[in-house]
Each structure stands twice: as C-alpha cells, then as structure tokens.
A = this chain, B = another copy of it.
Amino acid sequence: MKTLLEAIRPTTFLEPLKLRERLGLDLTVATETFQHTGSFKFRAAYNSALNANGDHMITASSGNFGQALALACRMLGKRCHVVMPDTSAQVKIDAVRGFGAEVVLINTKQVGREERVDQLMEEFPGAYRASPYDDDHVIDGNASLGDEIAAYGEFDVVISPIGGGGLISGISKALCNAGHKAVLCGAEPLLGNDAARSLASGRLIRNEQEPMSLADGARTISLGNRNWEIIKDGVSEIFEVTEEGIREAVFRYFLDANLKVEPTGALTLGAVMENRSDFEGKRVCCVVSGGNVDAKVYAGIVAGSSLQG
C-alpha cells in the first residue's frame, strides 16, 4: 500500500519564458494537469481513501473528484460508488468506470445527488462518505501540493483556484507549516463569488444557486465549513475573474506556454491578467488545478480567441 507521497506524481513547475515576457511578470506555474487523473483531486482522493475506515467509498461527483476517487480506490483495493447525473458527458462516465468504480446515474430532477448518496449510505452501512473538499484528509492530501510549492523556492504571492476551498485550504496549511512567507490569494469566477464575499464580510456566504461559470470545477454553492475556517485567516485576497478573463487565460497558456489547462485551472492566470499591477515586481506562483476539459469547449476557446498574437 503506497503512502500519499509514493502514490502521487509531483507537480510540474514551469517558468514559461514567452508568457513571462508577454506579461512582464516573474511568473512560475505549478501545474497539476499531469497529476494522475489530470487534476490535483487525486491527492485529496488518495489521502481520503487511504485514511478512511472500511473498504468502501461513496461520493457524488460529475467531475474530477469522481475519477480521482475511482483510481485511488482501485489502487487501494477498495470498492467505490460514484453518483453522477445522467446528463454527464459519456466520456466522464466512461473515465470513472474505466478506473473500476460503480457509477450510479441519477435524474437530478427526481433525486438530489446528496440524497442519493444518503440512500447508498443506508444500503452500505460500512461505507465512507467521501467529500471532495470538506474533509480533513482531503485538506491534508492537498497540502502535499503546498509542501512542494514551499520547497520549490521563494515566492511573494501564491495564487490558487477556489471552488469548495479544498485546494487553497490545503495549500494554506502547508505554507503555514513551512513558515513560508508568501501571501496566499484565491481566484474564483465572478459569476460565483461566494468566497470573495465571504472573506470580505468575515462570515460564510452561499451562492443562491450553482453558478454556471465556464470554470466548472468552481460551480459550488459555498465553501466547506472546514475549508472556511482555514481560508478566513490564511487567505489574503480573493480575485473575482470574469468569464472572458478565464477564456483569455486558457488561450494564453495554449499560445505562450504550450500548456493545456481546463477553465478552472486558468482562474489564477485570469486573475493575474485582470489585475496585473497587483503582481508587478513580485515573484508569483500560479497554481493550475487541472487540465481535463471537453474537446469541443477547448477547441472553441482556442479557435475563437481575439488574442491571436
């Protein structure tokens, strides 16, 4: 049974020359696009499956966490159920099944995702209910990325995407433990700016509905409670990125860094591009959370950009 550090692939640090010169910024990218299953979620999922009691994990996820948990369970010899809407892209369903998990498709008009997980938890009393962010093992799993950033070098600012807050809370914990001096910032879609509003008001605020941002990894109603407790003290600022800013950042990575990123992963560069002066003269580390994006969506962004140069 591999430990977390044996199971994960270390992050890939890039210092893309063209992008740095284009923006005139001292930019380093820590990209999780080459992590197993294509996103940082594998760190969280593996650590959760490794530490959970029992040999059966159940979660609801239509995105990266489902794939990550499926692979983690396969590696650890655990059974895994993933609840997914029956409208999920076939390629995502196939990916979860491909890693050996049992997919439970639901019609979300008839039953909620968490309600279906409740039913499964009743059916399988020994199973562990895996949360993609509001879970200490998840946060500790993600902290392994923060450890790598702290070990890589000196940064003045580290900036991470925010959805449910699992990644940034892990990074915060790690930077704090390492005594790293970087200021930690977040980047979330303007369309779903609950984290920015929460940080500004000092209390956890929820979106009224799932925000339909292109950054589908950040379509969360609110931060998790455990995540908020860390974020409210550990995060200095949260940038709200426009949809156009997300698209431009995806394209910039394509053109100036040869890096394929998913829209959620591009939030941090979008924040930097939309707030350039805040980062001038600073050593900036942009975290890219993952690279899994629908082929047609990606092609549309790359071919449709107005920034062809």
**Chain A residues packing against B (C-beta within 8 Å):** 12, 14, 16-18, 21, 33-34, 36-38, 71, 90-91, 94-95, 98, 251, 254-255, 257-260, 290-292, 295-296, 298-300, 302-303, 305, 308-309
Tell me the smallest distance from the CB of A67 to a CB of chain B, in Å.
Answer: 9
CB neighbours of A18 from chain B (8 A)? 37-38, 95, 98
Contact A299 to B303, CB < 8 A, known contacts A258-B34, A259-B260: yes
A98's closest neighbor in chain B, by CB? B21
Q: Is the CB of B309 within 8 A of A94?
A: yes
CB neighbours of A38 from chain B (8 A)? 18, 258
Contact among B17, B259, B303 for A295, CB-based, below 8 A: B303
CB neighbours of A17 from chain B (8 A)? 36-37, 71
Query: How many identical subunits does the complex contain?
Result: 2
Tell me the smallest distance from the CB of A60 to a CB of chain B, in Å.
Answer: 23
Q: Is the CB of B295 within 8 A of A305?
A: yes
Q: Is the CB of A91 within 8 A of B309?
A: yes
Q: Is the CB of B16 within 8 A of A34?
A: yes
Bound state CA distance, A260 and B33, in angstroms?
11
CB neighbours of A36 from chain B (8 A)? 17
CB neighbours of A254 from chain B (8 A)? 260, 295, 298
CB neighbours of A95 from chain B (8 A)? 18
CB neighbours of A291 from chain B (8 A)? 258
Q: Is the CB of A258 within 8 A of B91?
A: no
Tell me the smallest distance from the CB of A26 to a CB of chain B, in Å.
Answer: 16
Q: Is the CB of B309 within 8 A of A303?
A: no
Residue of A95, A98, A255 with most partner-chain B CB within 10 A: A255
CB neighbours of A305 from chain B (8 A)? 295
Contact among B16, B300, B302, B309 for A298, CB-based, below 8 A: B302
CB neighbours of A258 from chain B (8 A)? 33-34, 38, 260, 290-292
- Listed by A's residue number, 17 A-B pairs whose Cβ atoms lie within 8 Å are A16-B34, A17-B36, A17-B37, A17-B71, A18-B37, A21-B98, A34-B257, A34-B258, A91-B308, A91-B309, A251-B295, A254-B295, A255-B295, A258-B290, A298-B299, A299-B300, A302-B302
